[in-house]
Amino acid sequence: MSLEIFLLLGAALFSVGVYGALSQQSIVMVMMGLELMLNGLLVAAAAFWYYAAPTTADGQMLIVVILVAMGIEMALGFAVTTAIFRARDVDMTDQASDLRG
């Protein structure tokens, strides 16, 4: 498989994520779009590192660290979304706009 295929896959994931994040009003769907965008970037970065320096594990370790950080970020995001829903019965971004400081 060539680098172009992986970069095309990353670009497709990123594009679907942008569409999902900008077209949805549900907080969960916006978070899913953002997650797809980050996954597209990770696929492209991992493919680039694999083809640029296949003998070193530096890029792979960075990808694993970023994946763990993304998992923690999504867990916290869903916890905040659940807390907002329980407190105010709000699940749309327009209704949660009064939470700005």
Q: What are the extents of the domains in the chain?
A: 3-90
The two tokens of residue 19 are 């569409």
DSSP 8-state class, residue 8? H
Asked whether the predicted pLDDT for residue 6 surpasses 90, the reply is yes
Please give the model's pTM, rounded to 2 decimal places: 0.80
Task: State the pLDDT confidence band at 96, using cuts at 50, 70 and 90.
Answer: low
Residues written for the chain: 101
Predicted confidence at residue 90, as pLDDT, reads: 76
Q: 7-40 pLDDT, tens per residue? A: 999 999 999 999 999 998 888 888 899 999 999 9
Residues 6+ apart with CB under 8 A from 79: none
Residues 6+ apart with CB under 8 A from 77: 31
Predicted confidence at residue 39, as pLDDT, reads: 93
Average pLDDT over residues 61-72: 89
Q: What percent of the chain has pLDDT over 90?
A: 39
Provide Rg for the chain, Cα atoms.
17
- CATH number for the region 3-90 comes to 1.10.287.3510
> How many whole angstroms separate alpha carbon 91 and alpha carbon 95?
7
